[in-house]
């Protein structure tokens, strides 16, 4: 797939051979292809435009390396710039605090509960942490049951209070429970709505204020494309979250949401979800995502 763009750029740059330097005309032509690749990957139009503009400035006057064909050189420039824009390196989560409190936010169906389980499993197996999962969806008993199933699957305790309608109280009680029972990480799975609404935002803002988490993660379905950006902005305005989790990257999405979200909220993408199973979790690698976006 990666070669595909490289080939197209080579074609657009065919006039370049023998010139030794990339000219403005060559660059304009090739960047059209790059912009198309970005739009195909569902990158926001404005961001794609800004991106190609900045690559253009970098590309002009570059010497064509003898070891690379011009298409490959352009792909490298574009890829490096994309990687840089998505944060350059992987960013871990803050495991300070005693216990570490991690708050999950996001819309219903984004993959919060599944990811809460995956993260619990990851911290338990990779970082030998004692984790407590907390069910805070007081509106949907099915959501708590789903979390219990997940907890059983990975051997992690789930804290919930049937009958208590106050998620702030449940979260605070859960942290007390964790302290009393030797747990050093508390992952709070919150209720999600199908769209951003004021009630939901107030509720999660109240939980956030009450538990003062070390890490607030925003979970988003990578298949939702442009909507993902608006949702990310709404949650970030309220929570000033620490990082993003991009789920469902095992689907056929090219993952342009990664670039769009990073550009709009300027928060690192920390993890990706790559399946429904509990081990389908990976830390986010900006360079791998750049390859995927370029197709």
Task: Return binding residues.
Answer: 106-113, 189-193, 247-250
Cα separation of 128 and 148, whole Å?
21
The residue (of 47 and 120) whose beta carbon lies closer to ligand GDP is 120
* Residue with tokens 């907390």, as numbered in its chain: 134
111 vs 213 by CB, closer to ligand GDP: 111
For residues 97 and 109, which CB has a smaller minimum distance to ligand GDP in the complex?
A: 109
Question: In this complex, which beta carbon is closest to ligand GDP, that of residue 71 or of residue 192?
Answer: 192
Nearer to ligand GDP among residue 192 and residue 213 (C-beta)? 192
Candidate list 257, 273, 278, 289; residue touching ligand GDP; CB under 6 A: 273
Closest CA to 51 of 206, 295, 198, 259: 259
The minimum distance between CB 113 and ligand GDP, in angstroms, equals 3
Give me the least distance between CB of 150 and ligand GDP, in Å please.
8
Which residues between 112 and 151 bind ligand GDP (CB under 6 A)? Answer: 112-114
- Give the DSSP letter of residue 99: S
Strands 215-221 and 100-105: parallel
In whole angstroms, what is the distance from residue 200 CA to residue 220 CA? 16
Q: Is 274 a residue that touches ligand GDP (CB under 6 A)? A: yes
Please give the helix or strand (H or E) that residue 245 lies within, else none: strand 243-247
- How many whole angstroms separate alpha carbon 86 and alpha carbon 286? 6
**Site residues (CB under 6 A) for ligand GDP, limited to 190-219:** 192
| Region near ligand GDP per CB under 6 A, out of 86-94, 166-174, 256-264, 275-283 | 275-283
Q: Does 250 bind ligand GDP (CB under 6 A)?
A: yes
CA dist., res. 114 & res. 220, Å (int)? 12
Report in angstroms how near the CB of residue 93 gets to ligand GDP at its nearest. 18
Residue stretches of the annotated binding site for GTP? 106-113, 189-193, 247-250
Q: Is 238 in the site for ligand GDP (CB under 6 A)?
A: no
Which helix H or strand E contains 30, and what residues bound it?
Answer: helix 24-40
At 59, is the secondary structure helix, strand, or coil? helix
Rounded distance between C-alpha atoms, residue 117 and residue 251, angstroms: 20
Total residue count of the chain as it appears in this document: 295
248 sits near ligand GDP (criterion: CB under 6 A): yes
In angstroms, the first-to-last Cα distance of the chain is: 5
Distance CA 106, CA 271 (A): 14
**Considering the rule CB under 6 A, would residue 70 count as an interface residue with ligand GDP?**
no
Q: 5 φ, ψ to 5°?
A: -65, -40
Query: Tokens standing for 227?
Result: 């909507």
Binding residue for ligand GDP, selected from 49, 84, 157, 275, defined by CB under 6 A: 275
Residues touching ligand GDP, count (CB under 6 A): 17
The answer to whether residue 247 forms part of the interface with ligand GDP (CB under 6 A) is yes
Q: Does 108 bind ligand GDP (CB under 6 A)?
A: yes
> Which residues here bind ligand GDP, judged by CB under 6 A?
106, 108-114, 192, 247-248, 250, 273-276, 280
């Amino acid at each position: 797939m990666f070669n595909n763009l490289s080939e197209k750029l080579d074609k657009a740059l065919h006039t370049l051979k023998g010139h030794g330097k990339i000219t403005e005309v060559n660059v304009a032509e090739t960047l059209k292809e790059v912009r198309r690749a970005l739009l195909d990957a569902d990158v926001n139009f404005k961001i794609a435009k800004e991106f190609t503009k900045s690559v253009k400035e970098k590309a002009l006057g570059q010497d064509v390396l003898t070891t690379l064909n011009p298409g490959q050189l352009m792909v490298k420039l574009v890829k490096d710039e994309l990687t840089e824009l998505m944060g350059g390196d992987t960013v871990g989560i803050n495991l300070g605090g005693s216990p570490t409190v991690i708050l999950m936010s996001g819309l219903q169906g984004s993959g919060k509960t599944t990811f809460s389980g995956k993260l619990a499993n990851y911290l338990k197996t990779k970082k030998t942490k004692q984790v407590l999962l907390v069910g805070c969806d007081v509106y949907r008993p099915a959501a708590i049951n789903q979390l219990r199933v997940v907890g059983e699957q990975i051997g992690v305790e789930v804290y919930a209070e049937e009958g208590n309608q106050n998620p702030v109280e449940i979260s605070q009680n859960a942290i007390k429970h964790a302290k009393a029972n030797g747990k050093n990480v508390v992952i709070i799975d919150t209720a999600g709505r199908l769209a951003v609404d004021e009630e939901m935002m107030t509720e999660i803002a109240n939980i956030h204020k009450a538990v003062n988490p070390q890490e607030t993660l925003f979970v988003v379905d990578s298949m939702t494309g442009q909507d993902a950006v608006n949702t990310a902005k709404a949650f970030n305005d309220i929570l000033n979250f620490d990082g993003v989790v991009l789920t469902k990257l095992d689907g056929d999405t090219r993952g342009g949401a990664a670039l769009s979200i990073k550009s709009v909220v300027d928060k690192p993408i920390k993890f990706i979800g790559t399946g429904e199973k509990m081990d389908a979790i990976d830390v986010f690698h900006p360079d791998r995502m750049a390859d995927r976006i370029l197709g």
